[in-house]
Amino acid sequence: MCEIFIRANPRSYDSESRSLRLHGVATSVRLEHLFWQVLEDIARRDGMRVTQLIERLYDELLEHRGETGNFSSFLRVCCLRYQMLQVDGRIPADAGVPLRSLDARAVLRGLPELMCEDEAA
């Protein structure tokens, strides 16, 4: 079983820091290469650069929660959720379908508690 995981290309789990600006403030985000690749895939679906996607995620998280907490961990979870929702058929595998065109409530409907917060909260 473990061979499935240990045969990953070591480059995929090497970390990379990228400098970016969030509303004019210089910062950096450190993620493993594999996560950067998934973020690039997500951004490409909606015709954005990765930095634009990250800024949008930052803004929407801040608006929804009032703070961003561990933002690098949040980005990793975004990547994992994206792939899990694709596998589950909730996000089309066709990369030509922009994520912005999807009904978020329909995509998230009926997900387990760990995957989606209770709307009543």
The residue ranking higher by pLDDT, 118 or 66, is 66
Return the pLDDT at 117.
75
Let me know if residue 60 belongs to a domain.
no
Position 114 pLDDT exceeds 70: no
The answer to whether position 52 is within a domain reads: no
**pLDDT of amino acid 115:** 74
CATH code for the domain of 73: 1.10.3990.20
Does 39 fall in a domain? yes
For 2-6, 31-35, 44-48, which range has the lowest pLDDT when averaged over its residues?
A: 2-6
Residue 27 within a domain: yes
Angstrom distance (rounded) from CA 83 to CA 86: 5
- DSSP code of 8? S
Res 121 pLDDT > 60:
no
Q: Tens digit of pLDDT for each residue in 46-96? A: 999 999 999 999 999 999 988 888 999 999 999 999 999 999 999 999 999
Instruction: Report the number of distinct structural domains present in the chain.
Output: 1
Q: What percent of the chain has pLDDT over 90?
A: 71
Residue range of the domain that includes 23: 12-47+69-108
- 28 contacts 43 by C-beta, under 8 angstroms: no
